[in-house]
Structure 1
Amino acid sequence: MPTDRSIVLFDLFGVIARHQRPGALEKMAARCHAPTEAFTTAYWACRPPYDAGQQSASEYWTAVLRWLSRSVDANTIEELRLTDIDSWSRVDGRMVAYAQSLRGVAEVALLSNIPSDHADAFLAAQPWLRTLDHLAFSGKIKAAKPDPAAFHHCVVAMRAAPTDFLFVDDREENVRAARAVGMNGHVFTDRDELAAVIDTWLPTGR
Protein backbone atom coordinates (compact mmCIF):
# COMPACT_ATOMS: atom_id res chain seq x y z
CA MET A 1 0.00 0.00 0.00
CA PRO A 2 1.36 3.45 -0.89
CA THR A 3 2.53 5.59 2.02
CA ASP A 4 2.55 9.34 2.52
CA ARG A 5 6.29 9.51 1.88
CA SER A 6 8.80 7.40 0.01
CA ILE A 7 12.22 7.18 1.65
CA VAL A 8 14.91 4.90 0.26
CA LEU A 9 17.28 4.15 3.14
CA PHE A 10 20.59 2.81 1.86
CA ASP A 11 23.28 0.83 3.57
CA LEU A 12 26.74 2.05 2.59
CA PHE A 13 29.30 -0.76 2.32
CA GLY A 14 28.33 -3.50 -0.10
CA VAL A 15 25.69 -1.27 -1.69
CA ILE A 16 26.85 2.27 -2.52
CA ALA A 17 30.42 1.76 -1.35
CA ARG A 18 32.61 -1.26 -1.90
CA HIS A 19 33.59 -3.76 0.72
CA GLN A 20 37.02 -3.60 2.34
CA ARG A 21 39.96 -3.28 -0.03
CA PRO A 22 41.52 -6.69 -0.82
CA GLY A 23 44.80 -7.24 1.02
CA ALA A 24 44.06 -4.65 3.71
CA LEU A 25 43.77 -7.12 6.56
CA GLU A 26 47.01 -8.78 5.52
CA LYS A 27 48.73 -5.39 5.45
CA MET A 28 47.51 -4.48 8.92
CA ALA A 29 48.38 -7.91 10.27
CA ALA A 30 51.94 -7.51 8.98
CA ARG A 31 52.20 -4.15 10.73
CA CYS A 32 51.29 -5.92 13.96
CA HIS A 33 53.69 -8.80 13.23
CA ALA A 34 50.72 -11.13 13.60
CA PRO A 35 49.31 -13.99 11.49
CA THR A 36 46.53 -12.76 9.22
CA GLU A 37 44.00 -15.22 10.62
CA ALA A 38 44.65 -14.17 14.22
CA PHE A 39 44.57 -10.48 13.29
CA THR A 40 41.30 -10.90 11.38
CA THR A 41 39.71 -12.58 14.38
CA ALA A 42 40.80 -9.76 16.69
CA TYR A 43 39.83 -7.06 14.17
CA TRP A 44 36.21 -8.24 13.95
CA ALA A 45 35.76 -9.50 17.51
CA CYS A 46 36.70 -6.08 18.93
CA ARG A 47 34.74 -4.10 16.33
CA PRO A 48 31.13 -3.79 17.64
CA PRO A 49 31.76 -1.15 20.35
CA TYR A 50 33.86 0.90 17.89
CA ASP A 51 31.15 0.75 15.21
CA ALA A 52 28.51 1.75 17.77
CA GLY A 53 30.41 4.79 19.01
CA GLN A 54 31.14 3.27 22.41
CA GLN A 55 34.92 3.28 21.86
CA SER A 56 37.36 5.71 20.29
CA ALA A 57 39.75 4.60 17.58
CA SER A 58 42.55 4.49 20.13
CA GLU A 59 40.50 2.28 22.47
CA TYR A 60 39.56 -0.05 19.63
CA TRP A 61 43.10 -0.52 18.36
CA THR A 62 44.40 -0.93 21.89
CA ALA A 63 41.91 -3.77 22.33
CA VAL A 64 43.04 -5.38 19.05
CA LEU A 65 46.72 -5.16 19.96
CA ARG A 66 46.13 -6.53 23.43
CA TRP A 67 44.08 -9.40 21.96
CA LEU A 68 47.15 -10.22 19.89
CA SER A 69 49.48 -9.75 22.88
CA ARG A 70 51.30 -6.97 21.07
CA SER A 71 52.72 -3.81 22.59
CA VAL A 72 50.56 -0.69 22.35
CA ASP A 73 52.00 2.61 21.12
CA ALA A 74 50.52 5.71 19.54
CA ASN A 75 52.41 5.43 16.24
CA THR A 76 51.25 1.87 15.61
CA ILE A 77 47.67 2.80 16.45
CA GLU A 78 47.67 5.76 14.07
CA GLU A 79 49.18 3.74 11.22
CA LEU A 80 46.58 1.02 11.70
CA ARG A 81 43.77 3.58 11.94
CA LEU A 82 44.73 5.31 8.69
CA THR A 83 45.25 2.04 6.83
CA ASP A 84 41.86 0.87 8.06
CA ILE A 85 40.11 4.05 6.93
CA ASP A 86 41.73 3.81 3.50
CA SER A 87 40.64 0.19 3.17
CA TRP A 88 36.97 1.23 3.35
CA SER A 89 37.22 4.30 1.09
CA ARG A 90 36.09 3.00 -2.30
CA VAL A 91 32.68 3.73 -3.80
CA ASP A 92 30.71 2.18 -6.65
CA GLY A 93 30.30 5.10 -9.04
CA ARG A 94 27.31 3.53 -10.76
CA MET A 95 25.47 3.15 -7.46
CA VAL A 96 26.40 6.67 -6.37
CA ALA A 97 24.82 8.02 -9.56
CA TYR A 98 21.75 5.84 -9.10
CA ALA A 99 21.21 6.93 -5.50
CA GLN A 100 21.48 10.56 -6.51
CA SER A 101 19.08 10.03 -9.43
CA LEU A 102 16.38 8.81 -7.05
CA ARG A 103 16.12 12.19 -5.37
CA GLY A 104 13.74 13.30 -8.10
CA VAL A 105 11.17 10.69 -7.07
CA ALA A 106 11.92 9.88 -3.42
CA GLU A 107 13.77 11.00 -0.34
CA VAL A 108 17.16 9.30 -0.04
CA ALA A 109 18.92 8.58 3.23
CA LEU A 110 21.81 6.51 4.52
CA LEU A 111 22.22 4.17 7.50
CA SER A 112 25.72 2.74 7.81
CA ASN A 113 27.69 0.81 10.38
CA ILE A 114 30.84 2.92 10.42
CA PRO A 115 33.01 4.29 13.24
CA SER A 116 32.87 8.02 13.86
CA ASP A 117 36.38 8.79 12.58
CA HIS A 118 35.76 6.69 9.46
CA ALA A 119 32.54 8.63 8.86
CA ASP A 120 34.39 11.94 9.07
CA ALA A 121 36.97 10.76 6.53
CA PHE A 122 34.32 9.33 4.22
CA LEU A 123 32.31 12.56 4.26
CA ALA A 124 35.41 14.60 3.49
CA ALA A 125 36.20 12.39 0.50
CA GLN A 126 32.59 12.06 -0.70
CA PRO A 127 30.91 15.46 -0.18
CA TRP A 128 27.93 14.41 -2.35
CA LEU A 129 26.67 12.50 0.69
CA ARG A 130 25.69 15.81 2.27
CA THR A 131 23.10 16.31 -0.49
CA LEU A 132 21.08 13.35 0.83
CA ASP A 133 18.07 13.87 3.06
CA HIS A 134 19.60 12.23 6.13
CA LEU A 135 22.86 10.54 7.12
CA ALA A 136 22.94 8.09 10.02
CA PHE A 137 26.40 6.76 10.84
CA SER A 138 26.47 4.20 13.66
CA GLY A 139 29.48 5.80 15.33
CA LYS A 140 27.64 9.11 15.45
CA ILE A 141 24.17 7.89 16.48
CA LYS A 142 25.57 5.38 19.03
CA ALA A 143 23.66 2.43 17.56
CA ALA A 144 24.67 -0.12 14.94
CA LYS A 145 22.56 -2.41 12.78
CA PRO A 146 20.85 -4.76 13.44
CA ASP A 147 20.04 -2.99 16.72
CA PRO A 148 16.46 -1.67 16.35
CA ALA A 149 17.68 1.63 17.82
CA ALA A 150 19.56 2.35 14.57
CA PHE A 151 16.35 2.12 12.55
CA HIS A 152 14.29 4.01 15.12
CA HIS A 153 16.84 6.83 14.91
CA CYS A 154 16.07 7.26 11.20
CA VAL A 155 12.31 7.19 11.78
CA VAL A 156 12.50 9.86 14.50
CA ALA A 157 15.13 12.02 12.78
CA MET A 158 13.15 12.11 9.53
CA ARG A 159 9.78 12.50 11.28
CA ALA A 160 8.42 9.63 9.26
CA ALA A 161 6.58 6.37 9.78
CA PRO A 162 8.47 3.06 9.48
CA THR A 163 6.29 2.13 6.51
CA ASP A 164 7.57 5.18 4.64
CA PHE A 165 10.98 3.49 4.30
CA LEU A 166 12.46 0.99 1.90
CA PHE A 167 15.67 -0.18 3.55
CA VAL A 168 18.36 -1.56 1.23
CA ASP A 169 21.25 -3.60 2.65
CA ASP A 170 23.41 -6.46 1.39
CA ARG A 171 23.09 -8.34 4.70
CA GLU A 172 19.89 -10.29 5.25
CA GLU A 173 20.06 -9.99 9.06
CA ASN A 174 19.93 -6.20 8.77
CA VAL A 175 17.00 -6.31 6.36
CA ARG A 176 15.15 -8.64 8.73
CA ALA A 177 15.76 -6.19 11.57
CA ALA A 178 14.41 -3.30 9.50
CA ARG A 179 11.29 -5.27 8.66
CA ALA A 180 10.84 -6.12 12.34
CA VAL A 181 10.44 -2.40 13.15
CA GLY A 182 7.94 -1.94 10.31
CA MET A 183 10.10 -0.85 7.40
CA ASN A 184 10.01 -2.35 3.95
CA GLY A 185 13.27 -4.13 3.13
CA HIS A 186 15.30 -5.42 0.21
CA VAL A 187 18.44 -7.54 0.25
CA PHE A 188 20.76 -5.90 -2.27
CA THR A 189 22.46 -7.98 -4.96
CA ASP A 190 22.85 -5.58 -7.89
CA ARG A 191 21.69 -2.23 -9.19
CA ASP A 192 19.33 -3.48 -11.89
CA GLU A 193 17.39 -5.74 -9.53
CA LEU A 194 17.17 -2.92 -7.00
CA ALA A 195 15.92 -0.47 -9.63
CA ALA A 196 13.10 -2.87 -10.53
CA VAL A 197 12.15 -3.26 -6.85
CA ILE A 198 12.13 0.50 -6.28
CA ASP A 199 10.12 1.16 -9.43
CA THR A 200 7.48 -1.29 -8.17
CA TRP A 201 7.56 0.08 -4.61
CA LEU A 202 7.18 3.77 -5.50
CA PRO A 203 3.59 5.05 -5.60
CA THR A 204 2.16 5.34 -9.10
CA GLY A 205 2.84 8.68 -10.67
CA ARG A 206 5.97 9.55 -8.68
Structure 2
Amino acid sequence: MKWILYDIGGVLELVDDHTWPQQLEQAWSDRLGLPVDVFRARLDGADLPDTTLQSGVATEYWQKLGAALEIEDAEVDSMRAQLWDAYCGEANTELLEHARSLKGRAGLAILSNSGDGAREEEERRFRFSEVFDPICYSHEQGVAKPDPGAYLAALARMGASAADVLFIDDNEGPMRGAESCGIRAVLHRDNTATIAAIEAFLAE
Protein backbone atom coordinates (compact mmCIF):
# COMPACT_ATOMS: atom_id res chain seq x y z
CA MET A 1 0.00 0.00 0.00
CA LYS A 2 1.17 3.51 -0.78
CA TRP A 3 1.07 6.21 1.86
CA ILE A 4 0.70 9.99 1.82
CA LEU A 5 2.42 11.58 4.83
CA TYR A 6 1.42 15.18 5.55
CA ASP A 7 2.90 18.00 7.58
CA ILE A 8 0.30 20.12 9.40
CA GLY A 9 1.26 23.81 9.73
CA GLY A 10 1.39 25.45 6.31
CA VAL A 11 -0.02 22.30 4.67
CA LEU A 12 -3.19 20.96 6.32
CA GLU A 13 -3.51 24.24 8.23
CA LEU A 14 -3.39 27.69 6.65
CA VAL A 15 -0.86 29.34 8.93
CA ASP A 16 2.56 30.93 8.54
CA ASP A 17 4.79 29.33 11.16
CA HIS A 18 7.58 31.76 10.29
CA THR A 19 5.65 34.86 11.36
CA TRP A 20 3.00 34.11 13.98
CA PRO A 21 5.39 33.43 16.91
CA GLN A 22 7.06 36.83 16.49
CA GLN A 23 3.72 38.57 15.99
CA LEU A 24 2.33 36.96 19.13
CA GLU A 25 5.43 37.83 21.12
CA GLN A 26 5.10 41.48 20.07
CA ALA A 27 1.38 41.53 20.87
CA TRP A 28 1.97 40.03 24.32
CA SER A 29 4.82 42.43 25.05
CA ASP A 30 2.64 45.39 24.09
CA ARG A 31 -0.27 44.04 26.11
CA LEU A 32 1.88 43.74 29.24
CA GLY A 33 3.69 47.02 28.66
CA LEU A 34 7.08 45.31 28.42
CA PRO A 35 9.82 45.91 25.83
CA VAL A 36 10.31 42.76 23.74
CA ASP A 37 13.84 42.27 25.03
CA VAL A 38 12.61 42.37 28.64
CA PHE A 39 9.77 39.96 27.78
CA ARG A 40 12.27 37.54 26.21
CA ALA A 41 14.70 37.86 29.10
CA ARG A 42 12.03 36.94 31.64
CA LEU A 43 11.02 33.85 29.68
CA ASP A 44 14.65 32.88 29.07
CA GLY A 45 15.19 32.89 32.82
CA ALA A 46 12.02 30.95 33.61
CA ASP A 47 13.39 27.45 32.93
CA LEU A 48 10.43 26.64 30.69
CA PRO A 49 10.17 22.98 29.63
CA ASP A 50 10.65 22.16 25.95
CA THR A 51 7.09 21.52 24.82
CA THR A 52 8.18 20.50 21.32
CA LEU A 53 9.91 17.29 22.42
CA GLN A 54 8.01 16.41 25.61
CA SER A 55 4.40 15.61 26.42
CA GLY A 56 2.64 16.27 29.70
CA VAL A 57 4.58 19.48 30.38
CA ALA A 58 2.08 22.10 29.19
CA THR A 59 0.75 22.87 32.68
CA GLU A 60 4.26 23.42 34.01
CA TYR A 61 5.09 25.61 31.00
CA TRP A 62 2.16 27.97 31.50
CA GLN A 63 2.56 28.13 35.27
CA LYS A 64 6.20 29.15 34.89
CA LEU A 65 5.35 31.62 32.13
CA GLY A 66 2.75 33.28 34.34
CA ALA A 67 5.16 33.49 37.25
CA ALA A 68 7.94 34.94 35.09
CA LEU A 69 5.64 37.62 33.67
CA GLU A 70 3.95 38.24 37.03
CA ILE A 71 0.45 37.90 35.65
CA GLU A 72 -2.79 36.39 36.96
CA ASP A 73 -4.16 33.00 35.94
CA ALA A 74 -6.90 34.59 33.84
CA GLU A 75 -4.29 36.44 31.81
CA VAL A 76 -2.30 33.23 31.34
CA ASP A 77 -5.43 31.43 30.14
CA SER A 78 -6.12 34.22 27.66
CA MET A 79 -2.56 34.05 26.30
CA ARG A 80 -2.77 30.27 26.04
CA ALA A 81 -5.96 30.53 23.98
CA GLN A 82 -4.36 33.16 21.76
CA LEU A 83 -1.37 30.94 21.17
CA TRP A 84 -3.45 27.99 20.03
CA ASP A 85 -5.57 30.14 17.74
CA ALA A 86 -2.40 31.44 16.10
CA TYR A 87 -0.75 28.01 16.07
CA CYS A 88 -3.67 26.22 14.43
CA GLY A 89 -4.77 28.88 11.96
CA GLU A 90 -7.55 27.66 9.69
CA ALA A 91 -8.17 24.36 7.95
CA ASN A 92 -6.86 23.96 4.42
CA THR A 93 -10.26 22.68 3.38
CA GLU A 94 -9.36 21.82 -0.21
CA LEU A 95 -6.37 19.67 0.74
CA LEU A 96 -8.24 18.02 3.60
CA GLU A 97 -11.15 17.14 1.34
CA HIS A 98 -8.75 15.67 -1.19
CA ALA A 99 -7.16 13.59 1.57
CA ARG A 100 -10.60 12.32 2.55
CA SER A 101 -11.17 11.28 -1.05
CA LEU A 102 -8.06 9.08 -0.95
CA LYS A 103 -9.42 6.71 1.69
CA GLY A 104 -9.23 3.21 0.28
CA ARG A 105 -6.60 4.25 -2.26
CA ALA A 106 -3.74 5.06 0.12
CA GLY A 107 -2.74 5.15 3.74
CA LEU A 108 -2.99 8.66 5.19
CA ALA A 109 -0.72 9.83 8.00
CA ILE A 110 0.69 12.97 9.61
CA LEU A 111 4.22 13.84 10.71
CA SER A 112 4.42 17.22 12.42
CA ASN A 113 6.74 19.19 14.64
CA SER A 114 4.42 20.21 17.43
CA GLY A 115 3.86 21.57 20.90
CA ASP A 116 2.43 19.74 23.90
CA GLY A 117 -1.34 20.04 23.60
CA ALA A 118 -1.41 20.15 19.79
CA ARG A 119 -3.20 16.82 19.44
CA GLU A 120 -6.10 17.95 21.59
CA GLU A 121 -6.34 21.42 20.06
CA GLU A 122 -6.14 20.27 16.45
CA GLU A 123 -8.50 17.38 17.00
CA ARG A 124 -11.06 19.73 18.53
CA ARG A 125 -10.84 22.08 15.57
CA PHE A 126 -10.21 19.79 12.59
CA ARG A 127 -10.94 16.16 13.56
CA PHE A 128 -7.72 14.94 11.98
CA SER A 129 -8.17 11.47 13.48
CA GLU A 130 -11.16 10.91 11.19
CA VAL A 131 -8.81 11.02 8.21
CA PHE A 132 -5.25 10.26 9.33
CA ASP A 133 -3.75 7.31 11.20
CA PRO A 134 -1.13 7.45 12.56
CA ILE A 135 -0.69 11.08 13.62
CA CYS A 136 2.96 11.47 14.62
CA TYR A 137 3.73 14.53 16.75
CA SER A 138 7.27 15.55 17.74
CA HIS A 139 6.25 16.26 21.33
CA GLU A 140 4.99 12.69 21.67
CA GLN A 141 7.79 10.96 19.75
CA GLY A 142 10.57 13.00 21.36
CA VAL A 143 12.21 13.74 18.02
CA ALA A 144 11.53 16.47 15.46
CA LYS A 145 12.03 16.90 11.73
CA PRO A 146 14.49 16.96 10.04
CA ASP A 147 16.11 14.47 12.41
CA PRO A 148 16.02 11.08 10.63
CA GLY A 149 14.55 9.57 13.77
CA ALA A 150 11.31 11.46 13.19
CA TYR A 151 10.76 9.86 9.78
CA LEU A 152 11.87 6.42 10.91
CA ALA A 153 9.45 6.54 13.83
CA ALA A 154 6.64 7.51 11.46
CA LEU A 155 7.52 4.70 9.04
CA ALA A 156 7.47 2.21 11.89
CA ARG A 157 4.07 3.37 13.06
CA MET A 158 2.74 3.27 9.50
CA GLY A 159 4.21 -0.15 8.88
CA ALA A 160 5.48 1.19 5.57
CA SER A 161 8.70 1.13 3.60
CA ALA A 162 10.23 4.46 2.59
CA ALA A 163 9.72 3.75 -1.12
CA ASP A 164 5.96 3.54 -0.62
CA VAL A 165 5.61 6.98 1.01
CA LEU A 166 5.15 10.50 -0.36
CA PHE A 167 5.85 13.22 2.20
CA ILE A 168 4.43 16.75 1.90
CA ASP A 169 5.90 19.72 3.75
CA ASP A 170 6.06 23.47 3.16
CA ASN A 171 9.70 23.78 4.28
CA GLU A 172 12.79 22.54 2.48
CA GLY A 173 14.61 21.32 5.60
CA PRO A 174 12.01 18.69 6.55
CA MET A 175 11.61 17.77 2.88
CA ARG A 176 15.35 17.09 2.58
CA GLY A 177 15.25 15.16 5.83
CA ALA A 178 12.61 12.86 4.38
CA GLU A 179 14.63 12.36 1.21
CA SER A 180 17.70 11.44 3.26
CA CYS A 181 15.62 8.53 4.61
CA GLY A 182 14.61 7.38 1.13
CA ILE A 183 11.15 8.96 1.27
CA ARG A 184 9.99 10.87 -1.78
CA ALA A 185 8.98 14.42 -0.85
CA VAL A 186 7.02 17.33 -2.28
CA LEU A 187 7.51 20.96 -1.30
CA HIS A 188 3.99 22.31 -0.79
CA ARG A 189 3.41 25.70 -2.38
CA ASP A 190 -0.20 25.49 -3.53
CA ASN A 191 -3.00 22.94 -3.39
CA THR A 192 -3.25 22.39 -7.14
CA ALA A 193 0.38 21.36 -7.54
CA THR A 194 0.38 19.25 -4.37
CA ILE A 195 -2.79 17.39 -5.32
CA ALA A 196 -1.36 16.76 -8.80
CA ALA A 197 1.84 15.35 -7.23
CA ILE A 198 -0.18 13.06 -4.96
CA GLU A 199 -2.27 11.78 -7.85
CA ALA A 200 0.82 11.17 -9.97
CA PHE A 201 2.47 9.24 -7.14
CA LEU A 202 -0.59 7.05 -6.65
CA ALA A 203 -0.89 6.41 -10.39
CA GLU A 204 2.62 4.96 -10.64
What's the TM-score, normalizing by structure 2? 0.80
CA shift, 1:155, in A, is: 0.7
Residue of structure 1 equivalent to 2:83: 84
Residues 18, 88 of structure 1: 8 Å contact kept: no
- Whole-angstrom CA distance in 1 between matches of 2:87 and 2:71: 23
Is 1:126 the counterpart of 2:120? The answer is no
What amino acid is aligned across from residue 11 of structure 2 in structure 1? V
CA shift, 1:92, in A, is: 1.6
Residue of structure 2 equivalent to 1:152: 152
Task: Report how many residues are paired.
Answer: 197
Residue of structure 2 equivalent to 1:199: 199
- Whole-angstrom CA distance in 2 between matches of 1:47 and 1:187: 33
Describe the SS at the equivalent of 1:105.
coil
- Whole-angstrom CA distance in 2 between matches of 1:186 and 1:41: 38
- Whole-angstrom CA distance in 1 between matches of 2:145 and 2:40: 21
C-alpha distance 48-201 of structure 1, shift in aligned 2 (>3 A)? farther
CA shift, 1:169, in A, is: 0.2
Residue of structure 2 equivalent to 1:71: 70
In structure 1, stretches of 5+ residues that fail to align are none
What amino acid is aligned across from residue 80 of structure 2 in structure 1? R
- Whole-angstrom CA distance in 1 between matches of 2:4 and 2:51: 26
- Whole-angstrom CA distance in 1 between matches of 2:49 and 2:27: 21
CA shift, 1:167, in A, is: 0.6
- Whole-angstrom CA distance in 1 between matches of 2:148 and 2:41: 26
Deviations 1:45-94 (A, max 9, x none): x999211226722444567678xx73365444333222101112321211
- Whole-angstrom CA distance in 2 between matches of 1:40 and 1:150: 29
Describe the SS at the equivalent of 1:168.
strand
Residue of structure 2 equivalent to 1:51: 52
Residues 28, 83 of structure 1: 8 Å contact kept: no
C-alpha distance 145-105 of structure 1, shift in aligned 2 (>3 A)? same
Residue of structure 1 equivalent to 2:96: 96
What's the TM-score, normalizing by structure 1? 0.79
Q: Which moved more, 1:128-137 or 1:116-125?
A: 128-137
Q: Tell me the C-alpha RMSD between the 2 structures.
A: 3.1
- Whole-angstrom CA distance in 1 between matches of 2:117 and 2:167: 24
Percent sequence identity over aligned pairs: 23
Residues 113, 145 of structure 2: 8 Å contact kept: yes
Describe the SS at the equivalent of 2:51.
helix
- Whole-angstrom CA distance in 2 between matches of 1:41 and 1:201: 48
- Whole-angstrom CA distance in 2 between matches of 1:47 and 1:192: 40
Residue of structure 1 equivalent to 2:5: 9
CA shift, 1:196, in A, is: 2.0
Residue of structure 1 equivalent to 2:187: 187
- Whole-angstrom CA distance in 2 between matches of 1:47 and 1:19: 25
In structure 2, stretches of 5+ residues that fail to align are none
Describe the SS at the equivalent of 1:51.
coil
Residue of structure 2 equivalent to 1:162: 162
